[in-house]
Amino acid sequence: MTIVDNAAYEWRVYNAKAIHRLENARGRNESLIKGRIFGLRQAGSKKGVYRLIVRELGPRLVFSLSEQDVLGLLKKSSPLAEASPHSHPRAKTLRSRLQKTDPKDFWAVVAALNWPKFAQDADYADTVRSVLRECYRLQDVNRLLRTAVRKRRELQRAVEKAEKAARRQLFLGGDDSLYDALAYAVSSGQARFEGFLLKPESFVKKFNALPMEQQNFEYCFEE
């Protein structure tokens, strides 16, 4: 056990794909997801009891853990200084851009993420997830996700309407490919997205020829 300082939290990044559920003494439920930053420390004089806070939720929301729970978390996490999302070459620039961007301005956030340029980087999605949660409140990230989903569904309806008018299937991929392509179209920015809405056939032409091999854009905002 390496968490020995009773005064300060040791900051770590959760690395596991599986969600780790948390519940505090008042019944508040939260979770650790990949890329989330949390702090651990011993609970004063209580032997075998530890305190956990999640950085984006603030220091007042505290969870109590047993020594066994902490040992499990240590295996699934790494010290913040060693965390891969923060060693990514784009992390510093991304953090700077997001700090200057109003989280309520969805399209400004999309522009700051510049997803189409870096989506093929296997580590970029986790970097975005981590930095978003570092810069914005959880409720802001959740609102961004809801907006991304709403925009994706709006474009899907436009494509389905075009297919109905053409009386044939225009998008040649399956449901998963369509879902990924629609989300990618949202990530392309306001101007291109609105262009796809006006001419759904242009969306079909572009994405029928573009393999969807990168992570889904909405993953950046999901818990």
Domain ranges of the chain: 10-81, 84-220
Q: What is the residue type of 222?
A: E
**Mean pLDDT, the chain, whole residue set:** 86
pTM: 0.63
66-84: pLDDT as tens digits: 999 999 999 999 987 644 4
111-123: pLDDT as tens digits: 999 999 988 887 7
CATH topology for 10-81 is SH3 type barrels. (2.30.30)
Q: Under a CB-based contact definition with an 8 Å cutoff, are residues 11 and 55 in contact?
A: yes
What's the confidence (pLDDT) of residue 42? 85
| Angle at CA of residue 107, ends 90 and 125, nearest 5° | 35
pLDDT band at 1 (very low <50, low <70, confident <90, very high): very low
What's the confidence (pLDDT) of residue 46? 64
What is the four-CA torsion angle of 59, 65, 67, 72, rounded to 10 degrees? -90
